Every structure is written in structure tokens, then in C-alpha cells.
């Protein structure tokens, strides 16, 4: 495991750091792994697929033998859709816990799928809490499944999935988790938190490149999912059964992406697995947030809710601050940041994930300081309304 101060290799190709929630900055070794072509039917590639499935399951810890891992072509949303369609029976009903764009996308997906659903919509960033979920489940016996977003990437909030899991199973219902931006950096050990299935994708905390997602589900649920899906290509049961029988993906796999992901997964283990990866991202966040706060920036979330994945900052109220200008100037200094997604106040986001360490984060803060000076922004403090918004959030 590297020491906390180990410096990661900077991008070799002169490209800017992606301070975004994926696609993200990958290592040279990951990029290099894509320089070879693979036959998807060949034993070598089947071995790679099996190694990926096995290594991903290992991240679940004790109890992992009850689960299996099913890679699925496409971006993360394809895997979310595959999970919802395959595990919620056609006569089931879902409660979607939404506090941002990805929760709302799950609800929209269920509408497309024709699955009955209700949404607990907490707005831009308030967390869904156990007691309110318990109440909804008590009031509506038709609900069979609850869909939770682990880290809601649109604000960066780390939702309380353990608390939610407890009330879901106390009420005899089932939990499905979209852990897209969290898995690999935040523990989701099946001995600690109960769930039926979760999804993530190649280009998030494992630090691969985009091209496929994966569904990790209880074998019993995978068995029971037969016939549920509306879709041939997104049928998790069919993909699982075929992969177990032949070692192959049902349709053309993104071979280069799989090869790159395997290198990324081995590096993830060498870094100390979820604890090592999450530790580096946490240091990234802490150094970056402390530095930005010194410049006067304020985070949308109070510390208790800040994830080590991505952080939302309010835009400064200073009239000289124009986000597009700030963005371009940061990019020219080698850092691509991310626009915000809040509806009430202007914001932007800075990602903490990818091949970056705290040394890079110190450079990000220095670049932000220089950029503010170039723009003539004397203080990065947000407007009063932003702080009033934040006051709604429990500490
Ligand atoms: C929590 C969450 N769910 C779903 C998605 C959708 O993934 P994709 O954009 O790869 O389709 C994302 C993407 O960032 C995400 O963060």
C-alpha cells in the first residue's frame, strides 16, 4: 500500500486532470492495456471476464458466495435499467429515494419500463432518512422494492444506505442500490448492509474507462429474475446464465475496455482495496475542501454528508465571478472541473476520484486562487441565500 504522501504518476500525454465523476483520469497502465486486440470467444478473454467477476465479488467480503457478478455492456444507466427491469417483477412496485438527478433517472426508467413506482423526492440534496422511508412502507403495502442511490453524484451527498437498508428489511421489502459512483471507494460489504442487488460501472472508483457496467446480485434473485426483463439485451438473468455456461458475453463485449478494467482492478487491490482507494479519495477531498474554504468558497453540504467522491461548491456572489470563464481558466491550468446541478443557487463541482492524490489537489486549490485573482474576484464567499439553503440540512 502506498504511503499517504506517495505521489501518483501525472498524466503522461499532457492531457488535463479530469476532476469529474467519470470518465476520470486513468493511469498510463490502464490506457496501455487497450493497445492489444482480443478475440471475445477466445479462452484468454474468457479468463479475463472471469477474473473481473471474481475480483469484483471479492470486494463484498464475507458472504460474497451468495452473490454473483454480471457485467453488462453500455454506460452505467444501461446497468441501472437492467437491474430495475430484471429484479422488480412486472407486478412489483418500487419506492425510489431521490435527492438529485440520478434518483430521478431511476424513477424515469421505471416509468419507461412500465413498473409501478412512487418517489420520495427530497429535492436537490436533502438525504432520505430511515424514519420517513419506514412510514411510506407502512402506508403502502404494495411497495415491493426500494431503490436507493449510494452517492448521489449530482450533489455529492453520501446517502445513509445502512439506515435505509435496516428499515427496508424490517418492513419485509427488498433493496436495490445504485452505487455507481461509490463502489470501490466506499464499503458495501454484504455482511454489514443487506441488499439484493447493486450496480456500478467501469469508469468510476475502480478507475477504468467507460464501456460497461456490472450488476452484483444475490444468486437467489438472479434465479428468480428469469422472464422479468422487458429487454433482450438488458436481461440480467440471460446474461448471467449465458456467462456461467459459456464464459462469454451474450453480445459483442467492449474487449479493450475489459482489458483496461482488469489492469485497473489489480491496481485497486494493490492500493489496498476499498479501504486504500477510499482513503486516498478522502485525503483528496479533505485537502481540496480545506484549501477552497480558505479562499472563501463554501460547500453545499455540511461535513457529515460530504462524500469523498465529488464536492459541490456554491458559486461566489462577487459580480466578477462568471462560471464559464472560471472553467476555461482552470482548464488552461490543467484541471477540468464540472458544472453544478442545483436548481436554487449556482454551483460547480470538483471530483476527488481518479488517478490523483493530495499533491494534485493542492495544485487545484492553487489554480483556483490564481484564477480568482485573474478574474478580479476578491472573495469567493457565496450569496446569503446559499447559506440559508444549507441551513436546511441537519449537521
Ligand atoms: C449515481 C449514478 N447513477 C447513474 C449514473 C449514470 O451513469 P452513466 O452516465 O454512465 O450512464 C451515474 C453517472 O455518473 C451516477 O453517478
pLDDT higher than 60, residue 4: no
Predicted pLDDT at 392: 80
- pLDDT grade for 2, boundaries at 50, 70 and 90: very low
Per-residue pLDDT band for 18 (boundaries 50, 70, 90) equals: very high
Q: Are 123 and 99 in contact (CB under 8 A)?
A: yes
Residue 10 lies in a domain: no
- 115 is a domain residue: yes
- Concatenating the DSSP letter of every residue in 228-246 gives T-S-STT-HHHHHHHHHHH
Burial label, 286 (beta-carbon count in 10 A; 0-12, 13-18, 19+): middle
Cβ burial 331-364 (10 Å sphere, 16+ → b, else e):
eebbbebbebbbeebbbbbbbbbbbbbbebbebb
Residues 195 and 164 in one domain: yes
pLDDT in tens, 137-195: 999 999 999 999 999 999 999 999 999 999 999 999 999 999 999 999 999 999 999 99
Which residue segment(s) compose the domain that 323 sits in? 17-25+273-394
* Predicted pLDDT of residue 1: 35
| Residue among 201, 209, 341 to mutate when testing ligand 1 (max atoms within 8 A of CB) | 201
In a domain, 90, yes or no: yes
**168 and 56 within one domain:** yes
Among 204, 236, 270, residue at a domain's last position: 270
| 12, pLDDT greater than 80 | no
For residues 107-123, give the mean pLDDT: 97
Q: Is the CB of 278 under 6 A from ligand 1?
A: no
Residue 395 has pLDDT above 70, yes or no: no
Global pTM?
Answer: 0.96
Average pLDDT over residues 205-217: 98
Residue 31 lies in a domain: no
161 Cβ inside 6 Å of ligand 1: no
Residues 263 and 126 grouped into a single domain:
yes
> Do residues 132 and 42 both lie within one domain?
yes
Look up residue 19 and give its DSSP letter: -
CA distance 199 to 306: 21
The pLDDT of residue 7 is 63
Task: Choose one of 213, 235, 270: the last residue of a domain.
Answer: 270
pLDDT (0 to 100) of residue 154: 94
| Binding site membership of 27 for ligand 1 (Cβ less than 6 Å) | no
pLDDT at position 135 over 50? yes
Residue 117: all three cell numbers together: 413506482
Report whether 176 contacts 83 (CB < 8 A).
yes
Residue 282 pLDDT more than 70?
Answer: yes
Residue 1 lies in a domain: no
Looking at 270, 302, 317, the residue that finishes a domain is 270
CATH code assigned at 350? 3.90.1150.10
Instruction: Judge if 226 and 242 occupy the same domain.
Output: yes
What would the DSSP string read from start to end of 42-84?
SHHHHHHHHHHHHHHHHTT-TTGGGEEEEEEES-HHHHHHHHH
> Tell me, what CATH number does 168's domain have?
3.40.640.10
Whether 5 is in a domain gets the answer no
Task: Give yes or no for residue 159 CB within 6 A of ligand 1.
Answer: no
Decide whether any atom of ligand 1 lies within 6 Å of the 156 Cβ: no
- For atom 15 of ligand 1, the residue with the nearest CA is 180
What percent of the chain shows pLDDT beyond 70? 97
Q: Are residues 288 and 357 in the same domain?
A: yes
Residues 293 and 240 in one domain: no
Q: What is the dihedral of CA 202, 115, 197, 275, to 10 degrees?
A: 50
Q: Which of 74, 159, 180 to mutate to test the pocket of ligand 1 (most atoms within 8 A of CB)?
A: 180
Nearest CA to ligand 1 atom 10: 76
What's the pLDDT band for 6 if we cut at 50, 70, 90? low
Confidence of residue 14 (pLDDT cuts 50, 70, 90): confident
**Closest-CA residue to 310 (of 133, 134, 181, 170):** 181
Q: What is the pLDDT of residue 356?
A: 96
> In terms of domains, do 145 and 124 share one?
yes
Kindly report, residue by residue over 221-274, the tens digit of the pLDDT. 999 999 999 999 999 999 999 999 999 999 999 999 999 999 999 999 999 999
Q: 378 C-alpha to center of ligand 1: Å?
A: 36
Number of domains comprising the chain = 2
Cβ of 147 less than 6 Å from ligand 1:
no
Q: What angle do CA 177, 179, 181 make, to 5 degrees?
A: 160
Residue 349 is labelled as binding a ligand: yes
Does the Cβ of 149 fall within 6 Å of ligand 1?
yes
Does residue 247 sit in the same domain as residue 311?
A: no
Q: Over the Cα atoms of the chain, what is R_g? A: 21
- Residues 115, 248, single domain; the answer is yes
Q: Provide CB contacts within 8 A for 146, sequence distance 6+.
A: 94, 95, 96, 97, 133, 137, 164, 168, 173, 174, 175, 176
| Residue 265 and residue 295 share a domain | no
282 and 266 fall within a common domain: no
Does 351 map to a domain? yes
Whether residue 3 lies inside any domain: the answer is: no
Q: For residues 160 and 50, what is the distance between their CA atoms, to the nearest angstrom?
A: 32
Ligand 1 center from residue 255 Cα (angstroms): 21
Q: How confident is the model at residue 107 (pLDDT cuts 50, 70, 90)?
A: very high
Amino acid at each position: 500500500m502506498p504511503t499517504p504522501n506517495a505521489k501518483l504518476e501525472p498524466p503522461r500525454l499532457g492531457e488535463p486532470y479530469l476532476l469529474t465523476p467519470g470518465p476520470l483520469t486513468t493511469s498510463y497502465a490502464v490506457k496501455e492495456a487497450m493497445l492489444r486486440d482480443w478475440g471475445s470467444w477466445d479462452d484468454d478473454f474468457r479468463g479475463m471476464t472471469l477474473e473481473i467477476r471474481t475480483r469484483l465479488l471479492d470486494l463484498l467480503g464475507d458472504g460474497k458466495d451468495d452473490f454473483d457478478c454480471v457485467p453488462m455492456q453500455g454506460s452505467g444507466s444501461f446497468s441501472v435499467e437492467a437491474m430495475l427491469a430484471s429484479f422488480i417483477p412486472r407486478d412489483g412496485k418500487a419506492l425510489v429515494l431521490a435527492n438529485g438527478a440520478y434518483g430521478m433517472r431511476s424513477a424515469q426508467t421505471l416509468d419507461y419500463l412500465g413498473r409501478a413506482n412512487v418517489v420520495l423526492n427530497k429535492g436537490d440534496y436533502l438525504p432520505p432518512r430511515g424514519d420517513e422511508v419506514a412510514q411510506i412502507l407502512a402506508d403502502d403495502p404494495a411497495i415491493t422494492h426500494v431503490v436507493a442511490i449510494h452517492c448521489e453524484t449530482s450533489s455529492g451527498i453520501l446517502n445513509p444506505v445502512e439506515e435505509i437498508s435496516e428499515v427496508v428489511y424490517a418492513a419485509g421489502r427488498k433493496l436495490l442500490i445504485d452505487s455507481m459512483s461509490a463502489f470501490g471507494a466506499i464499503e458495501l460489504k454484504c455482511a454489514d448492509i443487506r441488499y439484493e442487488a447493486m450496480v456500478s460501472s467501469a469508469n468510476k472508483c475502480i478507475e477504468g474507462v467507460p464501456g460497461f457496467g456490472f450488476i452484483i446480485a444475490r444468486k437467489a434473485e438472479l434465479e428468480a429474475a428469469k422472464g422479468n426483463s422487458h429487454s433482450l439485451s438488458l436481461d440480467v438473468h440471460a446474461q448471467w446464465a449465458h456467462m456461467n455456461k459459456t464464459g462469454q458475453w451474450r453480445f459483442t463485449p467492449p474487449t479493450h475496455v475489459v482489458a483496461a478494467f482488469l489492469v485497473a482492478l489489480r491496481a485497486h487491490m494493490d492500493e489496498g482495496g476499498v479501504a486504500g482507494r477510499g482513503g486516498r479519495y478522502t485525503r483528496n477531498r479533505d485537502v481540496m475542501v480545506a484549501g477552497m474554504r480558505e479562499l472563501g468558497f463554501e460547500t453545499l453540504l455540511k461535513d457529515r454528508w460530504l462524500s469523498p467522491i465529488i464536492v459541490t461548491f456554491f458559486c461566489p456572489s462577487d459580480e466578477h465571478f462568471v462560471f464559464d470563464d472560471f472553467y476555461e481558466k482552470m482548464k488552461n491550468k490543467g484541471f477540468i472541473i464540472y458544472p453544478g446541478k442545483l436548481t436554487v443557487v449556482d454551483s460547480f463541482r470538483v471530483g476527488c476520484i481518479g488517478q490523483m492524490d493530495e499533491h494534485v489537489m493542492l495544485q487545484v486549490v492553487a489554480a483556483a486562487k490564481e484564477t480568482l485573482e485573474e478574474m478580479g474576484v476578491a472573495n469567493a464567499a457565496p450569496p446569503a441565500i446559499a447559506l440559508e439553503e444549507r441551513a436546511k440540512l441537519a449537521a
